[in-house]
Amino acid sequence: MPTVSTAALARGDGPPHPPADAVVVGGGTVGGWCAYFLRTSGLERVVLLEQDRLGQGASSRAAGIVRTQGGTAWAVKLGEWSRRFYLSQADLLGIDSGFTPQGYVLPCFTTADVTAAHERMAMQNGLGLDVRWLEPDEFDRMNPCMAPGLTLGATYRAQDGYLHPPRNVTAYAHALAVSGVQVLERTSFAGLDVTAGAVTGVRTSAGPIASPLVVLTGGPQLAGVGGLAGITIPAGAVRHQVAVTEQHPDLAPARLPMAFDLAFGLYWRPEDGGMLFGMSNPDEPPGEARSVDTEYLERIRGRLHELVPVTAGLGLRRTWAATIDYTPDHLPIIGPAIASGQTLNGAFVASAGGHGMMWGPAVARAVADVALQGSSPVVDTGDLGLDRFDEHGRSRLATDPIALPFPESTVQAQAFPESTPQAQAFPESTPQAQVSGEHASSSAGKEGPR
């Protein structure tokens, strides 16, 4: 057995691993499902690199909302593909991500909301989604927990739902094991080997791996992963908070469709006899999340009390904050890696842009398809690559209006050495990579989370 110095391992030049047909970086929901899809598409040896343990980034800490009612055709298609995939998992794998169809309302509070909702619904219906309009009285009947008479109506889809994020990690961990993907946990990606504009392998903290195909993921740490490979990826990271109330009979699932309040960045769903609600502060500066912002939590609770009065008398059973990924236009990144203006043959980048529960499997499938055959039946990825961003990270695409109110300002390089869950709900993670990168962000709409 050859001996290798610690410094050599840090440089990524330890003993070589056997060559792989594909290497996927990042063991979150995007990387995990992508490695599984590559393997089940016929690649013999697929390796998944995870600097920590599977799912210890954003993927185990999410709220689990799966909304197909997106603001763009891309969002709708990715959401619907993922929803159908979740429903197919039990047959396919003998395990599933815990998807529960619950029904989802997007209430309108202004006439401008109503106009936008009808336009959106026409687009969604045109793509085959059975989203329908609820008049205010029907909305009130369907939402007995909400204070009556508040809305001008809402869009609704019965098939939208939520999954259980830790169970999704279990599901892809199982899929990776049974399909024969080699998972290297506690192994950090350290860079790409490139010859004549084409990838020939990766360097890792446990030595190099030769491979003609590499998919880079990383969620909130994606910009740093790209930086290690000399690729500028305008993917950001910012605090996102979730809380779960005490149980109450009024919050029984049959009385509580999932909902979100676009203007306030507030969404909710049933959770274990209580209500889970999540929120993003539009004024939150980009960066890693280390603690619950109790002041903002209380502000959002005030809004929640107005909308769902029963919550005013309820304590919180759990609260947590974690770092969520985002992209400047709130759309996914699916496409070839680009370094110094040149496409790196064989290297691809994938991000769900903060929508990894609702889009993750579809993004994973699409990037696997693009890597293997140049295009994907899931969604047309032609406009979703890195080449849509300028050198400041600004996208030429319009921002998806139905997304969390992510940061608006262009931000300077940030270091995200840890993925930083706060919380009482999940164990701390200890990723190792010391990464940095340019994060740029702007946001047209302050409306809309989940």
Q: How far is the CB of 174 from ligand FAD (least distance, A)?
A: 17
Bridging pattern class, strands 214-216 and 342-351: parallel
Rounding to the nearest 10 degrees, give the CA dihedral for residues 103, 109, 112, 116: 0
* Selected binder of ligand FAD within 217, 399, 420, 422 (CB under 6 A): 217
φ/ψ (deg, to 5) at 95:
-150, 155
Among 352, 370, 378, 440, binds ligand FAD (CB under 6 A): 352
Asked whether position 38 contacts ligand FAD by CB under 6 A, the answer is no
- Residue 169 tokens, joined: 């990690």
- 352 versus 402: smaller Cβ distance to ligand FAD: 352
Asked if residue 14 binds ligand FAD (CB under 6 A), the reply is no
Least distance to ligand FAD, CB of residue 121, Å: 21
Q: At what angle do helices 73-93 and 165-179 cross, to 10 degrees?
A: 60
75 binds ligand FAD (CB under 6 A): no
Rounded distance, CA 356 to CA 358, Å? 6
- Residue 356 CA to residue 170 CA, distance in Å, equals 15
Q: Tell me which of 240, 365, 388, 439 binds ligand FAD, using CB under 6 A.
A: 240
Per CB under 6 A, does 203 bind ligand FAD? no
In the list 160, 261, 284, 325, the residue contacting ligand FAD (rule: CB under 6 A) is 325
Give the C-alpha separation, 335 to 348, whole Å: 6
125 within 8 A of 274, measured Cβ to Cβ:
no
Using the rule CB under 6 A, is 275 a contact of ligand FAD?
no
**324 is a contact residue toward ligand FAD (CB under 6 A):** yes
278, with CB counted inside 10 A (0-12, 13-18, 19+), is buried
Q: Is residue 102 involved in binding ligand FAD (CB under 6 A)?
A: no
Task: Name residue, tokens 């509580």.
Answer: 256
Smallest distance from ligand FAD to CB 412, Å = 20
> What residues between 383 and 442 interact with ligand FAD by CB under 6 A?
419, 431, 433
**Residue 204, CB-side half-sphere exposure with 13 Å CA sphere:** 28
Is 450 a binding residue for ligand FAD by CB under 6 A? The answer is yes
The SS3 call for residue 321 is: strand
Binding site residues, ligand FAD, CB under 6 A: 25-31, 49-52, 56-59, 61-65, 188-189, 217-221, 225, 240, 242, 278, 322-325, 351-352, 354-358, 360, 419, 431, 433, 450
